[in-house]
Amino acid sequence: MAHKPLHEQVIVVTGASSGIGLATARMAAERGARVVLAARSEDVLARVADELGPKAAYVVADVGRREDVQAIAAKAMATFGGFDTWVNVAGLTVYGPLREITHEDHERLIRTNLWGTVNGSLVAVEHLRERGGALINVGSIASDLAFPFQGLYATSKHAVKGFTDTVRMELIAEGAPVSVTLVKPASIDTPLPNRARNYMDREPTLPPPIYPPEEVANAILHAAVHPQRDIFVGGGGKMFVMGKEFAPGAYDELAPAIIALQKRSERPRDPEGALHAPRHAGAVRGDPPVPVMRTSAYTRATLHPLATAAVLAAGLVATAAVIIGTRPGPRR
């Protein structure tokens, strides 16, 4: 299944006021797409829409509310006549032991991360099954891995994976012209830890290696035109998932190290975070205490497997030629 070129598309992006969502909206507009931005922070959305010009529209929305998500679709219809790709990015996290986190905080996280994806997907598919297009959900390597001290985040991302796979299968069964992609980023340099609800005694961070948000945005926009079932962003994350599948018990034993890698040395800056109200939006990147990878060679290779195979084949031929050329000839 192939879709329209990006410059002919209208793309809806939730969670568009920071991090991956904001990076995706900007990159889509730079590549010629029209974009509909959705998030809770009206001031940031207005500023970004003004920056992007007439190709952008915005809706203030809490994706945990079905009526707000319906309003996003209505805005896309009223402004651009519909949409071709819907990207569910909106997400939050909570750091701390499960036993210490309140029910209200657990419920709010699930309402945003899971129900926001469910609401966005179901609303999008009702529109897309008539005209065709792409549904792209942003999960995480936490869709496949557990992370102690981010337990409900991992729970929500596991659920997003199960839901996304089910939506895909049902669309295939009915023959709908809609592709469904799950993007699974590893640690990404966004403000996610800075905006998290934090129960720990230290400022939170993400375990390395950490990749730039533009790598995720590029993968999302690639899937909008050339659908793929799943895309891992970050070879380091893929290796962790493979290791856990190979030796799940050994991965469990890494719990103390994983907890330690999620703590900075400094005291918490803003423990309340943006879980219950929009705060500190507007930035694409965070401020991780370790260097950020420039790109993900693994992800770029998976987006262009034929080109990668051709390069590898050419390399093998060249290597073989060198070996043959340097092999000593037969003795006479």
Tokens of 5: 């070129």
Q: How many residues does the chain have?
A: 332
- The residue among 331, 96, 84 whose CA lies nearest residue 224 is 84
Closest CA to 147 of 182, 96, 188: 96
How many Cβ atoms from other residues are within 10 Å of residue 242's Cβ? 12
Please list the residues that pair with 218 across neighbouring strands.
none
Structure tokens that stand for 244 in this block: 């856990």
Q: Give me the helix-helix angle, 116-131 and 151-174, nearest 10°.
A: 20
The backbone torsions φ and ψ at residue 29, rounded to the nearest 5 degrees and listed phi first, read -65, -40
Dist CA 210 CA 223 (whole Å): 22
Query: Could you tell me if 268 and 197 are in contact, meaning their C-beta atoms sit under 8 angstroms apart?
Result: no
Q: How far apart are CA 242 and CA 248, in angstroms?
A: 10
**Phi/psi at 5 (5° precision):** -60, 150
The number of C-alpha atoms within 13 Å of 257 and in the hemisphere containing its C-beta is: 6
Task: Indicate the burial class of 160 (C-beta count within 10 angstroms; 0-12, 13-18, 19 or more).
Answer: buried
The residues that are catalytic are 153
Query: What angle do the packed helices 42-52 and 19-30 form, to 10 degrees?
Result: 20
Q: Give SS3 for 57.
A: strand
Report how far residue 12's alpha carbon sits from residue 75's, in angstroms, rounded to the nearest whole number.
Answer: 10
H or E, element range at 180: strand 178-185
- The token pair at 312 is 């590898």
